[in-house]
């Protein structure tokens, strides 16, 4: 059986169960494991000898938190990450993750309505980690992201997107044509319906789904190799060959 692709409703339900009494995970735990998987994916595809400078683009929600964790791990892996946050998150967990990056001496581009700081950063970047919007994104793209996203897309740099490429609908994909077109995707927990036909290299991460949860929702997840936090998914099958909710 093929791995199950998730609708927005089921993805949200699984997240809630992971952090419920039955799942027993804290948000900190899930972000740490997800961010580590993101960093490992980028390091697997883009070796630091050729792509040392990483621009980690973080949104204000949980997706951005995953990006901050990934930035810290990339720094520990020997990369040179720089954090770009058009709109920093306000929650305490976000501020703590930012402080952890500060303590690793990872530079952060100060928030600005102007695009010059981002344009300057892109000139000294080898690869972009996109952790701006998650599966709860709803169009239209609002300021300050509406100008930043096209700039990232037109940069010509390779892009690694976290869970769902920023600007994509979780079920319809890039149906409006406003989202990023990444070279690599790291789905978390299980892949989403909107990326069923994604043509780039596709990895699955977040090695925290219990057997109980996997069986309950019929996820049919692939086996992770050894101690790796990620597993590469095969080329996409014909549409309709996997279960759809």
CATH number of the domain within which 88 lies? 3.40.50.10260
CA 35, CA 73: separation in Å to the nearest integer? 8
Count of structural domains within the chain: 1
Asked whether residue 192 is domain-assigned, the answer is yes
CA 191 to each of CA 7, 137, 154: distance values in angstroms, whole numbers, following the listed order:
9, 16, 26
**pLDDT tens per residue across span 111-148:** 877 889 999 999 999 999 999 998 888 888 888 889 99
- Structural domain of 216: 8-232
Please check whether residue 222 lies inside any domain of the structure: yes
- Residue 135: predicted pLDDT: 81
Find out whether 134 and 63 touch, Cβ atoms under 8 Å.
yes
The predicted-structure confidence for 154-186, as pLDDT tens digits, reads as follows 999 999 999 999 999 999 999 988 899 999 999
Domain assignment of residue 14, yes or no? yes
* Secondary structure class of 47 (helix, strand, coil): coil
DSSP summary character for residue 23? T
Rounded CA gap, 180 and 164, in Å? 10
Positions in the chain whose pLDDT score sits under 70: 236-245
């Amino acid at each position: 059986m093929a791995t199950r692709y998730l609708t927005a409703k089921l993805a949200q339900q699984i997240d809630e169960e992971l952090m419920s009494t039955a799942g027993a995970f804290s948000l900190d735990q899930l972000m740490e494991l997800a961010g580590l998987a993101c960093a490992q994916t980028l390091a697997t595809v883009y070796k630091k000898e050729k792509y040392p400078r990483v621009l980690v683009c973080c949104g204000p929600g949980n997706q951005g938190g995953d990006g901050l964790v990934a930035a810290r791990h990339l720094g520990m892996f020997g990369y040179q990450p720089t954090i770009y946050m058009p709109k920093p998150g306000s929650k305490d967990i976000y501020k703590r993750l930012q402080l952890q990056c500060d303590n690793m001496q990872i530079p952060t581009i100060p928030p600005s309505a102007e695009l010059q700081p981002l344009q300057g950063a892109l000139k000294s970047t080898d690869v972009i980690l996109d952790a701006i919007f998650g599966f709860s994104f709803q169009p239209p793209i609002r300021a300050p992201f509406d100008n930043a996203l096209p700039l990232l897309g037109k940069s010509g740099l390779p892009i690694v997107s976290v869970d769902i490429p920023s600007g994509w609908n979780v079920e319809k994909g890039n149906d409006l044509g406003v989202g990023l077109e990444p070279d690599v995707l790291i789905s978390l927990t299980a892949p989403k319906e909107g990326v069923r036909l994604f043509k780039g290299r596709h990895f699955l991460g977040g090695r925290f789904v219990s057997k109980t949860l996997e069986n309950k929702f019929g996820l049919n997840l692939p086996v992770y190799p050894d101690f790796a936090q990620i597993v590469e998914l095969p080329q996409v099958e014909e549409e309709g060959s996997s279960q759809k909710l």
